[in-house]
Amino acid sequence: MVHDIEWYGPTSGRGSVEDVVSHLGPTRAAVYGKALGMGREASAALAGHRRTGAAHVTVGRHPHAGRRTPDWYVYLKDADPGGEGMAGKNRQDRSAMSIEFGWTQTHAFGRKLAEPRHHDGLHILGWAFERAVSRYHHRAD
pLDDT digits (tens, 9 = 90+) for 23-35: 888 988 988 999 9
| Closest of 123, 16, 132, 137 to residue 72, by C-alpha | 132
Q: What is the pLDDT of residue 59?
A: 92
Q: Which residues contact 134 (CB under 8 A, 6 or more apart)?
A: none
Average pLDDT, rounded, for the chain: 80
Q: What is the pLDDT of residue 40?
A: 93
Q: What is the pLDDT of residue 2?
A: 67
Residue 6 in this model has a pLDDT that exceeds 80: no
Residue 39 in this model has a pLDDT that exceeds 90: yes
